[in-house]
Structure 1
Amino acid sequence: MSETVQQHSTTALIENRPPSAAALFLDRVKATPDGEAYRYPVPAEGGGPDQWRSLTWAQAAARVSAVAAGLMALGVRPEERVAIASNTRLEWILADFGVLCAGAATTTIYPSTNADESAYILTDSASRVLIAENAEQLAKVRAHRSEMPELAHVVVMDTAGIDTAGIDAAGADKEDEGWVLSLEELERRGAEHLEKNPDCVEETVAGLRPNQLATLIYTSGTTGRPKGVRLAHDSWTYEARAIEVSGLINSEDVQYLWLPLAHVFGKVLLAAQVGVGHVTAVDGRIDKIIENLPVVQPTFMCAVPRIFEKVYNGVASKAREGGGAKYKIFKWAAEVAREYGRVTQENRRRTGKPSAPFGLAAKHAIADKLVYAKLRAAFGGNLRACACGASALAPEIGYFFAGAGIHILEGYGLTETSAASFIGPGESYRTGTVGKPFQGTEVRIAEDGEILLRGPGIMQGYHGLPEKTAEVLEPDGWLHTGDIGELSEDGFLRITDRKKDLIKTSGGKYVAPAEVEGQFKAICPFVSNVLVHGAGRNYCTALVALDEPSITAWAKENGVTASGYAQIVASPQVHELIDGYVRRLNTDLQRWQTIKKFALLPRDLDVAHGELTPSLKLKRPVVEKEYAGLIEEMYVGSRED
Structure 2
Amino acid sequence: MSPRTYASTDGTAPPGTLCTLFLDAVDRFGDAPALRRFTGRGDEMADLSYDEVAEQAREIAAGLAFLGIEAGDRVALLSENRPEWAIADYACLLAGIVDVPVYSTLIAQQIAYILENSGARAVFASTREQVDKALAAADEAGLDLTVIAFEPVSTPSTRVVQWDDLRARGRERLGDTPASEFEAAARAIGPEDVATILYTSGTTGNPKGVMLTHGNLHSNVWACANILDVGPDDVTLSFLPLSHVLQRMVDYLLLTSGCTLAYARDIRNVAEDLRVVRPTVAVSVPRLYEKVYNKVMDAEGVKLRLIRWATAVGREWADAVLDGASVGPFLAARRALADRLVYRKIREGVGGRLRWFVSGGAPLEPAIARFFFSVGLPILEGYGLTETSPVTNVNPRDAIRIGTVGPPVPGTEIRIADDGEILVRGPQVMKGYYGRPEDTAAVIDGEGWFATGDVGELTDDGYLRITDRKKDIIVTAGGKNIAPQPIENRLKTNPFVEQVVMVGDKRKFPGLLLVPAFGPLEAWARANGVAPGDRRTLLQDPTVQAHMEREVVEHLGELSRYETPKKIALLADEFTIEAGTLTPSMKVRRRVVQERFADLIDRFYDEANEHRSVFTE
Structure 1 spans left out of the alignment, 5+ residues: 1-9, 168-175
Q: Residue type of the partner of 2:151?
A: D
For residues 298-321 of structure 1, give each alpha carbon's deviation from its aligned partner in whole angstroms, at most 9, with x where no partner exists: 11111111111111111222x22x
Which residue, 258, 278, 298 being the options, matches 1:297? 278
**Secondary structure of 1:94's aligned partner:** helix
- In 2, the alpha carbon distance for the partners of 1:514 and 1:181 equals 46
TM alignment of 1:617-636, pairs within 5 A: 617-636=587-606
How far off its partner does 1:284 sit?
A: 5.0
1:210/1:232 contact within 8 Å kept? yes
**Secondary structure of 2:175's aligned partner:** helix
- Identity over the aligned pairs, expressed in percent? 39
Cα distance change of structure 1 residues 633 and 357 upon mapping to structure 2, 3 Å threshold:
farther
Cα distance change of structure 1 residues 247 and 303 upon mapping to structure 2, 3 Å threshold:
closer
Which residue, 358, 366, 377 being the options, matches 1:406? 377
1:497/1:514 contact within 8 Å kept? yes
Higher alpha-carbon deviation: 574-583 or 185-194: 574-583
Cα distance change of structure 1 residues 147 and 587 upon mapping to structure 2, 3 Å threshold:
closer
Q: Counterpart of 1:208? A: 189
Q: Counterpart of 1:603? A: 573
Q: Counterpart of 1:180? A: 160
TM alignment of 1:142-181, pairs within 5 A: 142-160=135-153, 162-163=154-155, 167=156, 176-177=157-158, 179-181=159-161
**Secondary structure of 2:273's aligned partner:** helix
2:81/2:263 contact within 8 Å kept? yes
How far off its partner does 1:289 sit?
A: 1.8
Cα distance change of structure 1 residues 356 and 540 upon mapping to structure 2, 3 Å threshold:
farther
Q: Counterpart of 2:6? A: none
How far off its partner does 1:479 sit?
A: 0.3
Higher alpha-carbon deviation: 386-395 or 141-150: 141-150
How far off its partner does 1:150 sit?
A: 4.7
For residues 477-531 of structure 1, give each alpha carbon's deviation from its aligned partner in whole angstroms, at most 9, with x where no partner exists: 1100001111112111110111111111222221110011111112x11212111
Cα distance change of structure 1 residues 565 and 158 upon mapping to structure 2, 3 Å threshold:
farther
Over aligned residues, Cα RMSD in angstroms? 1.8
Higher alpha-carbon deviation: 111-120 or 526-535: 526-535
**Secondary structure of 2:337's aligned partner:** helix
How far off its partner does 1:127 sit?
A: 0.7
1:562/1:571 contact within 8 Å kept? no
2:138/2:145 contact within 8 Å kept? no
How far off its partner does 1:23 sit?
A: 2.2
How far off its partner does 1:548 sit?
A: 3.6
- In 2, the alpha carbon distance for the partners of 1:206 and 1:246 equals 26
Which residue, 40, 43, 46 being the options, matches 2:40? 43
Q: Counterpart of 2:321? A: 344
Cα distance change of structure 1 residues 296 and 145 upon mapping to structure 2, 3 Å threshold:
closer
Q: Counterpart of 2:25? A: 28
Q: Residue type of the partner of 2:363?
A: A
Q: Work out which structure has the larger RCO, using CA pairs closer than 8 Å and 6 or more positions apart in sequence.
A: 2
- In 2, the alpha carbon distance for the partners of 1:268 and 1:555 equals 45
Q: Is structure 2 residue 433 aligned with structure 1 residue 465?
A: no
Cα distance change of structure 1 residues 573 and 198 upon mapping to structure 2, 3 Å threshold:
farther
Which residue, 333, 355, 370 being the options, matches 1:384? 355
- In 2, the alpha carbon distance for the partners of 1:530 and 1:357 equals 39
- In 2, the alpha carbon distance for the partners of 1:334 and 1:572 equals 32
Q: Residue type of the partner of 1:82?
A: V
- In 2, the alpha carbon distance for the partners of 1:270 and 1:151 equals 32
Q: Counterpart of 1:313? A: 294
For residues 146-205 of structure 1, give each alpha carbon's deviation from its aligned partner in whole angstroms, at most 9, with x where no partner exists: 344554210001124x23xxx1xxxxxxxx32x101111111111111115445632431
TM alignment of 1:578-597, pairs within 5 A: 578-597=548-567
Q: Counterpart of 1:76? A: 69
- TM-score, normalised relative to structure 2: 0.94
Which residue, 467, 480, 490 being the options, matches 1:496? 467
1:240/1:274 contact within 8 Å kept? no
**Secondary structure of 2:323's aligned partner:** helix
Cα distance change of structure 1 residues 147 and 579 upon mapping to structure 2, 3 Å threshold:
closer
Q: Residue type of the partner of 1:587?
A: G
**Secondary structure of 1:111's aligned partner:** coil
TM alignment of 1:96-107, pairs within 5 A: 96-107=89-100
Cα distance change of structure 1 residues 604 and 570 upon mapping to structure 2, 3 Å threshold:
farther
**Secondary structure of 1:249's aligned partner:** coil
Cα distance change of structure 1 residues 585 and 51 upon mapping to structure 2, 3 Å threshold:
same
Q: Residue type of the partner of 1:110?
A: Y
TM alignment of 1:197-276, pairs within 5 A: 197-199=177-179, 201-276=182-257
Q: Counterpart of 1:335? A: 312
Q: Counterpart of 2:532? A: 562
- In 1, the alpha carbon distance for the partners of 2:144 and 2:430 equals 25
For residues 44-75 of structure 1, give each alpha carbon's deviation from its aligned partner in whole angstroms, at most 9, with x where no partner exists: 1xxxx221111211111111111111111111
Q: Residue type of the partner of 1:491?
A: G
Pairs aligned (count): 599
Q: Residue type of the partner of 1:380?
A: G
Q: Residue type of the partner of 1:446?
A: A
**Secondary structure of 1:220's aligned partner:** coil
2:539/2:572 contact within 8 Å kept? yes
Q: Residue type of the partner of 2:25?
A: R
- In 2, the alpha carbon distance for the partners of 1:152 and 1:204 equals 26
2:526/2:532 contact within 8 Å kept? no
Structure 2 spans left out of the alignment, 5+ residues: 1-9, 611-617
2:125/2:134 contact within 8 Å kept? no
Q: Counterpart of 1:7? A: none
How far off its partner does 1:591 sit?
A: 1.4
**Secondary structure of 2:251's aligned partner:** helix
Cα distance change of structure 1 residues 11 and 362 upon mapping to structure 2, 3 Å threshold:
same
How far off its partner does 1:92 sit?
A: 0.8
- TM-score, normalised relative to structure 1: 0.90
Which residue, 338, 348, 353 being the options, matches 1:367? 338
- In 1, the alpha carbon distance for the partners of 2:350 and 2:127 equals 31
1:127/1:151 contact within 8 Å kept? no
2:255/2:261 contact within 8 Å kept? no
- In 1, the alpha carbon distance for the partners of 2:517 and 2:169 equals 49
2:421/2:470 contact within 8 Å kept? yes
